Amino acid sequence: MTAIAVTIAGSDSGGGAGIQADLKSFSANGVYGASVLTALTAQNTLGVTAIHDVPVEFVRAQIDAVYSDLAVTATKIGMLSQVPIIEEVADGLKRHQTGPVVLDPVMVAASGDPLLAESAVATLISKLVPLADIITPNLHEAARMLEGEVARNENDMQSQAKQLIDLGAKAVLLKGGHGDSAESADLLTTRNGESLWLREDRIATDNTHGTGCTLSSAIAAGLAKGNALGDAVSSAKAYIQETIRHADELKIGQGHGPVHH
């Protein structure tokens, strides 16, 4: 049977992040990809110039169209933009067979532009975190979810991953890529107390646009194929490392370019 993953996320017109990155990551990781668009961004490698939220009725229509027909085996959630879209997506997940759900709590673009309303973090936590099988915050997103400081070291990361589990997450991949150590260390923690550090050398490049999207989609692809969570996360980490390693070969645009799938 064909493994099918769905991304529920925003569009990046520049092709580097969002839905565009998700579909490339699904393809590269061997699964068929479908998409539900939540918001359109007018964006390039320099930044976001406009955002158009998809009306909630149309988000619902896409969800019902996709899940009522395709035998979906995993779902990835990215940019949700506003509270009503979060609520619509949460309702949609409850109506359908989604397979395991990977929630990337996207808040800000790499360019610094906001992709989620400030007031929406609480709704994301109350409505979607409990429905997710794994959440994949970076250090800044974790700090905002916990209303605390950005983790400075691995001890802080360990304690924040536990606090995110206490918020209702079944599993957390806390991504250390925004830290400043020589290694990029991510911590996978599950509710039953398992934890695994995933370590890779930090690669010096400005072209890391779309890393969060690509990684969470690669995890969803692994889960869509029936892999266990730890295996899906480990192979996704290896995949994102390769896309960052080759990012400088792409040379598109004048700003921060995307990773290379």
* Residue 90 near ligand PLP by CB under 6 A: no
* Residue 43 near ligand PLP by CB under 6 A: yes
Give, as ranges, the residues between 173 and 232 that touch ligand PLP (CB under 6 A).
Answer: 209-213
* Residue 18 near ligand PLP by CB under 6 A: yes
**H or E element at residue 95:** helix 83-95
One of 5, 6, 8, 9 touching ligand PLP (CB under 6 A)? 9
Q: What is the DSSP string of 97-112?
A: ---SEEE----B-TTS
Distances in Å between the alpha carbon of 74 and those of 53, 65, 224, 229, 237?
Answer: 24, 16, 5, 12, 18
Half-sphere exposure of 94 (CA within 13 A, CB side): 11
* Residue 134 near ligand PLP by CB under 6 A: no
Cα–Cα dist 237/235, whole Å: 5
* Residue 10 near ligand PLP by CB under 6 A: yes
Of 213, 214, 222, 237, the catalytic one is: 213
Binding footprint of ligand PLP, residue count (CB under 6 A): 19
* Token duo for residue 245: 């390693």
Residues within the interface to ligand PLP (CB under 6 A): 9-12, 17-18, 41, 43, 78-79, 106, 109-110, 115, 209-213
Residues assigned a catalytic role: 175, 208, 210-213
